[in-house]
Amino acid sequence: MTLLSVDSAWPLARLANWLDRSFAHRDLTPTETGVFITNLLMHLAEARISLEQLTANRYKLSRTVERKIAMHRTAARTKIYNEFLSPKFATPLVVSKEAQFQFPPDAYPAGSLCKGGYRFKKHYFPVIGEMNDEEIECAKFLDGLPQVKFWVRNLPGPGRETTSFWLQTSTDKFYPDFVCLLADGRNLVVEYKNATDWTNDDSKEKRALGELWGERSGGNCIFYMPKGSEDVATIKSKIQ
């Protein structure tokens, strides 16, 4: 029935206040969003969209404003994050042995287990988390490398911050597919990507972060993202 009603024009201040309260934005104060929404409404008014139209379409407008704020939020986070990764940042990213991650020997909370008849010999835990067919082939290659002492199918997902290895991206935590301990004491981290996904923005960010993590480790850590099944064998050249 609300959609069928004919709304008279709300004053701009009332409409701005309603829009500000129509969706959650806990990271922004009403003062910040109020200025942004007011300026947006004034811009629409200058484009000759009447307050009657804006009032009648306020629910659709609310969703549009929310998406617009989310877009600016993402852009700001990405900008700050990229500045943090720069060596010129006041407190640049440092990889230190004092802050290294260790897999708890008695905690491997795999929701689903890897299926198939192949018997892996070097997985650190007695069970292995779920993998797709391509990831299984990558795991087989790692399991067969003489340079690999142990490897772990790193479990992804929220709630595993203390039991899985992760790196922080601009939006969330990145859990690489495989973490290996090499015979010479170095660490190898592998994130498998098929050829299609290897070039998307998410993979580019993860690849840049992982390679930076390896570079800042002083030779103690290696990160590699093979580009599809045909590229898995090149892992060997990265650990020579």
The whole-number pLDDT of residue 144 equals 96
- Quick one: CATH architecture of 97-238? 3-Layer(aba) Sandwich (3.40)
Contact 223, 211 (CB under 8 A): yes
Residue 182 and residue 178: Cα distance in Å, rounded? 12
Give Dmax (Cα) for the chain.
Answer: 76
pLDDT the model gives residue 83: 79
Q: What is the sign, positive or negative, of the torsion defined by CA atoms of 98, 101, 102, 107? A: positive
pLDDT at 120: 96
User: Quick one: pLDDT at residue 1?
Assistant: 43
What pLDDT score does 158 carry? 81
Burial class of 239 by CB neighbour count within 10 A (0 to 12, 13 to 18, 19+) = middle
Q: What is the pLDDT along the chain (240 residues), one digit of tens a residue?
A: 455 455 688 999 999 999 999 999 988 888 899 999 999 999 998 888 999 999 999 999 999 999 999 999 888 888 887 777 777 766 666 777 767 888 998 899 998 999 888 999 999 999 999 999 999 999 999 999 999 999 999 999 888 889 999 998 888 899 999 999 999 999 999 999 999 999 998 999 899 899 989 988 888 999 999 999 999 999 999 998
Q: Domain-by-domain residue ranges, the chain?
A: 12-85, 97-238
3-state secondary structure of 233: helix
Q: Residue 91: its pLDDT value, please?
A: 61
108 in the Ramachandran plot: left (φ > 0), alpha (ψ -120 to 50) or beta? beta
